[in-house]
Chains A and B, each alone.
Chain A
Amino acid sequence: MNSISAAVPDIYRILPEVVLTLTGVLIMLIDAAMPAASSRRGLGWLGAFGVMAALWASLWQLSLPAGTAFYNTVQTDAFSVFFHVLICGIVLVSLLISLDALPPDSSPVQHHRGEYFALMVFGAVGMCLMTSAIELLVVFIALEISSISTYILAGFRKHTGKGPEAAIKYFLLGSFATGFLLYGVALIFGATGTTQINQIAGLIPHARSSSLVLASFALLMVGILFKVSAAPFHVWTPDVYEGAPSPVVALMSTAPKAAAFALLIRLLYSSFPMLQPMWMPLMWIIAILSMTVGNLAALRQENVKRMLAYSSIAHAGYLLAAFAGVGFTGIAAASFYIAAYSAMQVGIFAVVTVVSGYNEDLPLIADFRGLIYRAPVLGSVLIFFLASLIGIPFTAGFFGKFYSFSTALQGGAVWLGLIGLLNSGLAAAYYLKLAVTVAQPPAAGAQKLVTPRLGLAVGTALVFTAIATLILGIHPQHILGAAQAGAASFSKAPASANPPAAENVRWVR
């Protein structure tokens, strides 16, 4: 533990996680004490307030000097706070969406609503911890906390055929990925004798075997790239998204990904900076592969959630393009992209949730026909989110892509920027298909669809995400500033600040 942080009690460094854990435990205790028949809506609100408190606690951490705690296992800095706030924001909105999308009373899962809220909050604990952990074993534990809760949530609609299928697929493939990650941790420990993210870089030059380091790096990457559903580790995404309840997809397509990206950034820039000549082209290839595969597959989808699933693969690709940039600009660009993507993705799933209902009887793009006539507000907001996903200026999506691709261009990868932007033209085709369907006059007769109703909670969620998408699009400075502050905290990381130059050459080969 270094001298600056000595004055700060360790517990302050994990305050948001503590608040979240207490909230989750409280929800479970109250849930158990409640009569079986009573409404558990209040528990959702309790969760929301707990998450808000955690969000406040993260912001409060900014007043602490950056430092580590618990024997160098967690680190709070501007970077971790950025992701804490982002994750808490996503979980908060997801909870709000869930409140109005509760299963109907006849549903077989109606008694499990308390668990649902608790699991969402517990998942947030893991995700938050992932972004502040600087010890690979803590990372592993955090990843498991976050994953297990999302595995369960993915299968929550167990009365449908697709729910259990989604959960089992997610669980099996996710476990493999975590296994890879853990194996990578073991190998890096074997090679360097440490699992401290910040110390690995300094010890790699003295590693026993360079192939061991490379193997461990590869395994770690497989584990993380699975979590962010980058190609070619993306195959689980569409099935899982299709089967899981929409509010859960809102959560799991953004928050765990944000956490995994944070981890990826930490690993690449803190632990393996000297491997940069090797991992940068790797990231480019994965970026191009992800966006192309994602977009091409999304073009053919008829189901809205599957389409959004494939498009999320493409977005992981756009984000990885930022890694072509040099140093901290790349980190800031990637962080900004995650924030922008989360705002619009959660927003769009809020709309999907309201339109298709808990049972998701209306899963197809064609079912959205004439939405803007049935529910003008909902339809307009949906079109706005789609415009942002396309990357129209004055929306979050535009500046996300803007920073990502301009970072790539500054790094000299003109072709990467070009492929990326052509891909976003391709993506426009399927987003537009949905937008035009929404704007198309309803088919004559044969429309038995009811007008979707907006509840208070989901309405708040929509307003929140729409405003976030707009503000990120017309006034991106604040978030970019926060992202840059986060990126700057990497220059303080002891090992990456001074990578041994002579040894670099060895690793380039």
Chain B
Amino acid sequence: MDNVIISLILLAPLAGALLVLLLPDRGKLPAWAALATALVTFLLTLHLPAHFNPGAQGFQFVQDIPWIANPAIRYHVGVDGLSLWLVVLTGLLAPIGVLASWKTVKERSKVFYAFFLLQQTAMVGVFVSLDLMLYYGFWELSLIPMAILIAMYGRGSSENGGPKAATRFFLYTFISSAPLLVALLWLYAKTGSFQFSDLQSAIASGTIPAGPLCWAALAFLIAFAVKVPVLGLHGWLPDTFSEAPVSMAMVVAGKLGLYSLIRFHVGLFPVQAHKAAPWMIALAAAGILYGALLALVQKDFWKLLAYGTISSLSFCTLGIYGFTLAGLDGSVFQTINEGVIGAALFVLFGVLYDRYGTSQISQYGGLTKKTPVLATVFVIASLAMIGLPMLNGFIGEFLVLSSTFTEVSRSWATAGTIGVILSAAYMLTLVQRVFYGPQSQLSLSKPASDLELREKFVLYPLATLMLVMGIFPNLWLSEIETGIRGAANALSAPISNSASSAGGQQ
């Protein structure tokens, strides 16, 4: 089981997608099939943490089969502590995504769920690929279903809004992948291998000339930074958040890019990453403030969430390029948080949008009286996003900020801390305006309807997870750390210095 489990996780959604396509498009049949597939996939992903050996170095559940002889591309997959929880998170978000689309996707649900499941395969594929060409394949593959679903099932808040957002999303990520592919091919021409470990040792041994290597590292960085998105390359995100269907929007940002930054930029090019670090830290700190300030003035809650996401993803970037063990830990943890909290907020906004048909914050008000459960979950998610202690957001932000403060730079850490305060400002303002105060015209005009059972199925696990992750972070951090240490070995001297002090600090 251990050596095929990853292939099963990859194949299950793919098979589900085909099944959904073959089923008649009748009523809720495709949705049920998709839900079943997603649940099976999620159960399969749970096999990974259950059988993961935290003491072992390197990759586990590895499967390595020759695929194409020339160029030498292998089907080589495996997970370590870095990717482990991201795979599980992807698995968790799948059934939640299906449930979140339950009511909104009314027509042609077959196509929707088929592409949704295909997206699932592509995402998991990105996290588990140890052959860079395979990785690139999944990376590009993840764009197609997303673009099509945004075009076809976009919320259509404006005429042609969906297609425009889809095109923008696709072009941003596709064009930035071009340098990545060139760099990959160039590395292949130099080393004759696409294997992560081969490339890692070839680069570490210094056989590849440093000048061009710098450009290769930059190419990797750009491709990943767009996907994160890092400040300056974030142009696609607000549109996508406003237009994409809820279940798609909640998987689009962050995870893929941040994971790739740690694994393939920091992990493959430690020297070049150190050179880029001052820039990346500055961009991250600027991104934290920029995102938070813009979120503060948004009138539309999708846009607010988009800019808030830019801000909180910048925390992850900040943690990565500090090159401290605690910071990297915090970044990975925060990446998972972002997935959980972002998903919850997306679903919640989706519920509001579904009930009241607008995303204008000013239209809302005083919803607590009518929908107390909704309000409660919303407040929990908001507090988690702000980083209240005992909730998961706190752990990630604390690890990142404290390590930045002690190891990297006090001024950047201060900037980050201001971001935390700003995030409290925009989230609490949002909560206040939507749920408290006098009831608005809109909320009076619609009948009260609190969360229904399906929505509770989606939101309660997420809310619970926020609490559990906030109270027992070590359940996750111990595995993450084994993965980070693997990547940290590549960072050699700089990381080992700070690792010892970071360890002491914990």
Contact = CB atoms under 8 A, between A and B. Distances in A.
Contacts of B70: 477, 480, 484
Interface stretch (B172-180, B376-384, B425-433): B172-180
Nearest to B188: A406
Interface in A100-117: none
A394 B151 contact: no
Contacts of B136: 393
Interface in A404-423: 405-406, 409-410, 414, 417-418, 421-422
Interface stretch (B162-170, B316-324, B359-367): B162-170
B11 to A, nearest CB: 14
B144 interface: yes
Given A421-B181, A425-B171, A436-B147, A393 B166 contact: no
Interface residues of A, number: 38
Contact of B182 (A417, A437, A475, A484): A417
Given A422-B178, A436-B163, A477-B70, A428 B171 contact: yes
B186 A432 contact: no
Interface residues of B, number: 35
B475 interface: no
A424 interface: yes
Contact of B175 (A393, A422, A484): A422
Interface in A424-455: 424-426, 428-429, 432-433, 435-437, 439-441
B217 to A, nearest CB: 14
B182 A421 contact: yes
Contacts of A19: none
A464 interface: no
A475 B35 CA distance: 31
Contacts of A372: 111, 152
A393 B133 CA distance: 9
B189 interface: yes
B120 to A, nearest CB: 16
A398 B144 CA distance: 14
B400 to A, nearest CB: 33
B182 A405 contact: yes
A437 B147 CA distance: 12
Given A376-B111, A409-B182, A414 B212 contact: yes
B58 interface: no
A348 B25 CA distance: 27
Interface in A355-400: 372-373, 376, 383, 387, 390, 392-394, 398
A243 interface: no
B278 interface: no
B50 interface: no
B233 to A, nearest CB: 14
A373 B188 CA distance: 42
A436 B185 CA distance: 30
Nearest to A484: B70
A15 B152 CA distance: 51
Contacts of B108: 373
A476 interface: yes
Contacts of A439: 148, 151-152, 163
Interface string B137-162: 11011011001100110000000001
Contacts of A394: 137, 141
Task: With a 10 A CB-CB cut-off, give which of B148, B185, B188 has the most chain A CB atoms.
Answer: B185
B68 interface: yes
A409 B185 contact: yes
B163 A437 contact: yes
Interface string A16-58: 0000000000000000000000000000000000000000000
A474 B185 CA distance: 18
Nearest to A443: B159
Nearest to A329: B70
B71 interface: yes
Contacts of A390: 174
Given A406-B71, A410-B189, A428 B141 contact: no
B152 A406 contact: no
B297 interface: no
Nearest to A426: B175
Given A422-B178, A439-B152, A441-B152, A432 B167 contact: yes
Nearest to B69: A477
A417 B151 contact: no
Task: With a 10 A CB-CB cut-off, give which of B137, B181, B188, B189 has the most chain A CB atoms.
Answer: B181
Contacts of A425: 171, 174-175, 177-178
A235 to B, nearest CB: 28
A342 B181 CA distance: 23
Interface in A172-229: none
Contacts of A441: 152
Interface string A449-486: 00000000000000000000000000111001000100
A414 B148 contact: no
A402 interface: yes
Given A392-B140, A476-B68, A440 B174 contact: no
Contacts of A373: 108
Nearest to B108: A373
A462 to B, nearest CB: 17
Contacts of A422: 175, 178-179
Nearest to B159: A443
Nearest to A425: B175
B69 A418 contact: no
A67 B181 CA distance: 41
Contacts of A429: 167, 171
Interface in B64-93: 68-71
B324 to A, nearest CB: 34
B312 to A, nearest CB: 29
Given A393-B141, A439-B151, A480-B70, A428 B175 contact: yes
Nearest to A423: B178
A127 to B, nearest CB: 28
B167 A433 contact: yes
Nearest to B180: A421
A393 B162 CA distance: 24
Given A393-B140, A436-B147, A402 B174 contact: no
A392 B167 contact: no
Contacts of B167: 429, 432-433, 436
A418 B189 contact: no
A423 B97 CA distance: 35
Contact of A392 (B111, B144, B179, B182): B144
Interface in B365-391: none
Given A435-B148, A440-B151, A440-B162, A428 B170 contact: yes
Nearest to A384: B144
A421 B174 CA distance: 10
A183 B167 CA distance: 48
Nearest to A421: B178
B31 to A, nearest CB: 18
Nearest to B170: A432
Given A376-B111, A394-B141, A440-B163, A428 B189 contact: no
Given A422-B178, A425-B177, 11 more contacts: A392-B140, A409-B182, A418-B179, A421-B178, A422-B175, A432-B170, A436-B148, A439-B151, A440-B151, A475-B68, A476-B68
24 contacts: A372-B111, A383-B148, A392-B140, A392-B141, A393-B136, A398-B137, A405-B181, A405-B185, A406-B71, A414-B182, A417-B186, A421-B178, A422-B179, A424-B178, A425-B178, A432-B166, A432-B167, A436-B148, A436-B163, A436-B166, A436-B167, A440-B163, A477-B68, A477-B70
Shortest beta-carbon contacts, A-B, top 4: A393-B137, A425-B175, A421-B178, A406-B185
